[in-house]
Amino acid sequence: MKYLALVLKSARRSKRRTALTIVSVALAVFLFATLRAVLDGFTAGAAASSSTRIITIRSTSLIFSMPTSHADAIRSVPGVRDLTWANWFGGIYKDQAHSFANFAIEPESYLRMYPEILLSADERSAFLADRTGCIIGESLARTNGWKVGDRVTLKVGIPTYGTRDYDFTIRGIYRSSSSAVDTQSMMFHWKYADERSLVKGQAGWFITRIASPDQEAQVAGAIDAKFANSPYETKTDTEKAFASSFISMFGNLNLLLGSIALAVVVATLFVAGNTMAMSVRERTTEIAVMRTLGFPGGTIFSLIAIEALLMSIVGGVVGVVLARIAINPRVLPSGGFIPEVSVDTQNIVVGLGLSAVIGAVSGLIPATLAARLKIVDALRRVA
Amino acid sequence: MALIELRGVTKSYQRDSNEIVVLDGVTISIAEGDFMALMGPSGSGKSTLLNLLAGIDRPTRGAITVAGTDISGLSERALAAWRARHIGFIFQLYNLIPVLTAFENVELPLLLTGLTKKQRRDHVLTALGIVGLSDREKHYPRQLSGGQEQRVAIARAIVTDPTLLLADEPTGDLDAKSAAEILTLLQRLNRDYKKTIVMVTHDPHAAERASHVVHLEKGTLAETVVNG
Amino acid sequence: MGLISNYNLRSMLVRKATAAMTAGGIAMVVAVFVMTLAIAQGFRATLVASGSPQNAIVLRKGATSETVSAVLRGDVPILESLPQIARDGDGRPLASPELVVIIALPRSTDNQPANVPVRGVGPRAFALRTNLKFVEGRPLTPGTREINVGRLATGRFKGLSLGSDVKFGSNTWKVVGIFTADDASFESEVWGDVDLMQPAFQRNGYQSMTVKLADPSMFDSFKAAVEGDPRLMLEPQREQDYYADQSRPVTTLISVFGTFVTLILSIGAMAGAMNTMYAAVAYRTREIGTLRALGFGRLRIVSAFLVESVALAAIGGAAGCILALPVHGLSTGTTNFSSFSEVAFKFRITPALLAGGLVFAMVMGAVGGLLPALRAARIPVARALREI
């Protein structure tokens, strides 16, 4: 790579221009990686869903409940290995601004059905033993500075749960082994909510474990058939479908974030391409001289192209490093219902790839022009 | 009273740790109506002297007085204003603005005055008439020959009726015929319009057209020759 | 100024490709800016159009939205008797007890189940909302299972066209009319008789009561009367305030996101503008020297180049605005998390937004062009003249 020195010197020719180009590529890559990370954050849960868990809700919509007596009927369906249920509680902690997901679970079966929830044996038994106990996801605990033993009070959000505030004691702080379960939620005993509910014995959704994924359609159909034409008709679907429907509620995120990413790339191509073109224009005479000395057009092309690529990749590295540092749950405000966002290896690779593409594309035309420059024209421009 | 007086003018630069002296204690007087040629080998400091006269550079030591004003002490802003009023500069490479027409190039210095559009127009047409390019007012520099470009530049230099015309190698880039035309024009400006001209040149033929020639060598005056 | 208009603007056009690319970069930034804020504006406009200055909405004390509120049957006659409420020609109070539930219907864009708001309304609900107009069919007949659907809802969710039968709450309901409401959130809703909805959804009681005040100034006395009555656990809000609060979380989120992205993008664009202007200054060094030699002062040189940069950016900004325009009026939707229901709305580009985009572009041009412009003026004249 004897030409590397030449390329580097060229880039140092105008330190400012090189710096500005690196900055714009870095920002583009930073944004790109961030947008991808945001999209991943939203879709991670659905992507990691278990293929052997299916969810049963009221066919009317999620906001309606079903009697817990449905559980027996469901258990009798062939192919059902295990069952649990949960209710959306929607309790308010301090005020709307501090809101987070909180729901009532059938404790023993729920923890069994969701092995992703990681609790120490002590915390687990303490939680199961305490009717007013609760478990908090570690991210939520961090946000609010909670430890095991702290007391948490929730005001009733949904009128059906009565009027008195609910007091809880934190019995465990759980971690999650998969994106399928987030750590920004709070879970507590279903019985505690039920005993104060205006209508007793209601479940928000049932979670059923099936033996193998290919039985899904059959078991789901059988479950729904049990309650067809009853006042509590159900709709059963995979956990993935259930999670996906939540994501789609935000809007067409793919389209929105994708369009922005596209605009980012195009804008950067303009800037980077412009820079390379300007830099080449400045060097017209030198290039002509080199051609006179005998450098073939192909070499000239490579020199320019490599310079463009180099600047872009440096920018790309800066961009992904910045993204990695800045975009993670510790720095970004997440919490509540916004999923945690962080830049993972895949995003980094894509970001770097993008910078290489920008470098290649922006360098293409200037490099070609430089290679094809008519020596005579170039030398004439000196005087 | 001399129009221009230079007294003990020195100009030096610091290049790394060396001091490079370009002009060393130069003292000259230039009378009104003079046509003076400045000659000397390359590096003798003649262009620097011209720049000092024009107020686009400052002497390291010494005083320069033009029409009674000591310009070596003026601020940057005052110098710019002074320059606009008193100096007409003619460059070797013409230095016309490529995106402006001949008319607009000549009009440029007038934008610094308070004249109305019509008044400016009159001055420009007069100047172009003097240099014989009235029919080219709408042309762009690239559409003009070297000689024509220099004539436009001269028109620009005289349009404000300046106290002093400074020409830096005005024929350096021209062929013999065009060069002769330019020199004739300069002589005319000096004789018929009483313009004071200081011209830097290394061409003895050009120097012949001046009323007297001053030789610079290594930053100091060598000799003065009066032309017949 | 003579110098600026001719010299600089024409100089800008000489290097067309460079100018075009710089303007292009700025155009992209402005386009993103306008488009993302158009989403926020559209959402906000929809929610704000939903609130009439003369209406008030009564919710349970402490309830943050209708969905978590409760108004008892017994509360209704007490409220209706209050003198601040306007009355219709027959002397009946213009008040509507209401209940909102969510049913799942497939979304026409991706077939995913969407949370469609179904609003049970009292018979005088139509009189309360003056911007409501029927574009197809007719208003529902109280006491029947007839329903009306907002136009934006018919576009966004499947199965809600005129004449369709919609099955929910163990009954079948028929769509007899489609209405518009200036893009208010009601246009994303399905309306039916509230007294038939209650048993259908196993509910007992209402969630809210919307009333039309005889005069907007009567709100304070109305509020005092409701809150002062020991029989009621309710609190009224101005309808406009209610909907403004409802829209705030989502609007803020979108605006913050849009601003964040645009800001970062703009730094890149400014870097590009800076590059271009530095190159322009370098290319025209001798010209600048000439101008200074002629007597043009430093300030004039600086302002000339600054204007050139700003003008170029303005062109880019205008292009960006034009690029963004097609999204105006485009229908989209998102979920209003306060009510958990899907709200359809349209991208909304206002003249103010376009002006903002243009100003933003010019600021980018000014910031990017400042340092190069300063450099242009600072080159020593003699040195500038020697440049090739």
If asked whether residues A195 and A273 sit together in one domain, one would say: no
A304 inside domain: yes
- Comparing CB atoms, the residue among C6, C296, C385 nearest residue B104 is C6
Query: In 3-state terms, chain C is what percent helix, strand and coil (to 5)?
Result: 55, 20, 25
Residues A171 and A198 in one domain: yes
Which one of A232, A267, A302 terminates a domain? Answer: A232
CA distance A322 to B97: 45
* Chains in contact with A, where contact requires at least 3 CB pairs less than 8 Å apart: C
Check whether residue A100 and residue A183 sit in a common domain. Answer: yes
Which of B48, B98, B109 minimises the CB distance to C294? B109
Distance from CA of C276 to the nearest CA of A (A): 8
Query: Cα distance from C151 to chain A (closest Cα, Å)?
Result: 19
| Residue A17 and residue A149 in one domain | no
- pLDDT score at A382: 44
Residue in C closest to A23 by C-alpha: C268
Nearest to A249 among C32, C103, C115 (CB): C115
Looking at this protein, which amino acid is placed at residue C124? Answer: R
Residue C28 to residue A157, Cβ atoms within 8 A: no
**Which residues of chain B, if any, have pLDDT below 50?**
none
Q: Are residues A278 and A312 in the same domain?
A: yes
Look up residue A301 and give its two tokens. Answer: 């092309």
B89 contacts in chain C (CB < 8 Å): 293-294
Rounded to an integer, the average pLDDT of C103-117 is: 89
A56 alpha-carbon distance from chain centroid: 26
Measured in angstroms, the CA of A342 and the nearest CA of chain C are apart by 16
Residues of C with CB under 8 A from a CB of B: 1-3, 6-7, 10-11, 14, 286-287, 289-298, 380-382, 385
Q: Which of C381, C383, C386, C388 to probe the B interface (max B CBs under 10 A)?
A: C381
* Residues C116 and C150 reside in one and the same domain: yes
Residues A85 and A30 in one domain: no
Distance from CA of C341 to the nearest CA of A (A): 9
- Among candidates B84, B91, B107 on the partner chain, residue whose Cβ is nearest the Cβ of C295: B84
**Helix, strand, coil share of chain B (percent; to 5):** 40, 30, 30
Residue C142 lies in a domain: yes
Mark yes or no for CB contact C104/A251 under 8 Å: no
Confidence at residue A383, expressed as pLDDT on a 0 to 100 scale? 36
Q: What is the pLDDT of residue C253?
A: 84
Boundary (domain end) residue, out of C205, C232, C259: C232
Closest C-chain CA to A156: C68
**B111 interface with C at CB cutoff 8 Å:** yes
Half-sphere exposure of A172 (CA within 13 A, CB side): 24
Same domain as C146, residue C78: yes
Residue C206 resides in a domain: yes
Same domain, A29 and A64: no
pLDDT tens-digit profile of C173-199?
Answer: 999 999 999 888 899 999 999 999 888
DSSP B215: E
Mean pLDDT of chain C, nearest integer:
89
Under 8 Å between Cβ of C32 and C317: no
- 3-state SS, residue C316: helix
Sign of CA dihedral C116, C118, C119, C123: positive
Cα dihedral C225, C228, C230, C236, rounded to 10, equals 60
| Residues A138 and A223 both lie in one domain | yes
Side chain identity, residue C343 = V
Which residues in chain B have their CB less than 8 angstroms from residue C12's CB? none
Please name the residues in contact with A288: beta carbons below 8 A apart, sequence gap of 6 or more. Answer: A373, A375, A377, A378, A379
Average pLDDT of chain B, as a whole number: 88
Determine the residue type at B58: R
Of C36, C70, C274, which is closest to A20 when you measure between CB atoms?
C274
Domain of residue C129, residue span: 62-232
pLDDT in tens, A125-143: 999 999 999 999 998 998 8
Judge contact between A3 and A303, C-beta under 8 A: yes
Inter-chain residue contact A278 with C275, CB threshold 8 Å:
yes
**Does residue A238 lie in a domain region?**
no
| Contact list, C342 vs chain A (CB under 8 Å) | 249
Give Cα C351 to chain centroid, integer Å: 13
Which positions ≥6 away from B44 have C-beta within 8 Å?
B216, B217, B218, B219
In a domain, C135, yes or no: yes
A16 and A92 part of one domain: no
Residue A303 lies in a domain: yes
Q: Tell me, yes or no, whether A101 and A213 share the same domain.
A: yes
Looking at the structure, do residues C67 and C211 belong to the same domain, yes or no? yes
Q: Mark whether C71 and C216 lie in a shared domain.
A: yes
- What residue numbers bound the domain in which A270 lies? 4-46+251-380
SS3 of A146-200: CCCCCEEEEECCCHHHCCCCEEEEEEEEEEECCCCCCCCEEEEEHHHHHHHCCCC
Helix (H) or strand (E) holding C106, with range, is strand C95-106
Cβ distance of B85 and C6 shorter than 8 Å = no
Q: Same structural domain for residues C186 and C215?
A: yes
Question: A21 vs C271: CB contact, 8 Å cut-off?
Answer: yes
Shortest distance between the Cα of B37 and any Cα of chain C, in A, equals 20
Closest CA to A57 of A183, A243, A181: A243
Chain A contact set for C22 (CB, 8 A): 270-271, 274
| C300 close to C3: Cβ distance less than 8 angstroms | yes
C319-332 pLDDT tens trace: 999 999 999 988 88
In a domain, A152, yes or no: yes
Q: Averaged over C300-329, what is the pLDDT?
A: 92
Same domain, C37 and C129: no
Same domain, A35 and A125: no
ipTM: 0.78
> How many domains are contained in chain C?
2
CATH 3.30.420.40 fits B4-226, yes or no: no
Contact (CB<8Å) A27/C267: yes
CB within 8 Å: B87 and C1:
no
pLDDT of C18-68, one tens digit each? 888 889 989 999 999 999 899 988 988 888 888 889 999 999 988 888 888
Going edge to edge, which strands form the sheet with B35-39?
Answer: B87-90, B164-168, B196-200, B35-39, B212-217, B220-226
Please give the share of chain C, as a percent, with pLDDT higher than 70.
98
* B-C contacts (CB, under 8 Å): 71
Q: How many domains does chain A have?
A: 2
Q: What secondary structure does DSSP assign to A335-383, as a single string?
A: BTTBPP----HHHHHHHHHHHHHHHHHHHHHHHHHHHH--HHHHHHT--
Query: What is each CA distance from B158 to B99, B141, B152, C255, in whole angstroms?
Result: 21, 18, 10, 60
Which residues in chain A come in under a pLDDT of 50?
A: 381-383
Domain identity same for C289 and C374 = yes
Cross-chain CB nearest to C102 (options A63, A266, A282) = A63
Strands A66-67 and A202-203: what pairing?
Answer: antiparallel
Is A38 part of a structural domain of the chain?
Answer: yes
Q: Say whether both A267 and A340 belong to one domain.
A: yes
Q: Which positions ≥6 away from C268 have C-beta within 8 Å?
A: A23, A24, A27, A28, A267, A268, A271, C25, C29
- Compute the distance between CA of residue B215 and CA of residue A342 in angstroms, rounded to an integer: 76
pLDDT tens for each residue of C112-132: 888 999 999 999 999 988 889
Domain end (from A182, A199, A232): A232
Same domain as C334, residue C227: no
Q: Which of C232, C259, C287 is the last residue of a domain?
A: C232
Q: CA C254, CA A273: separation in Å to the nearest integer? A: 31
> Does C287 contact B57 at a Cβ distance shorter than 8 Å?
no
User: Domain-by-domain residue ranges, chain B?
Assistant: 4-226
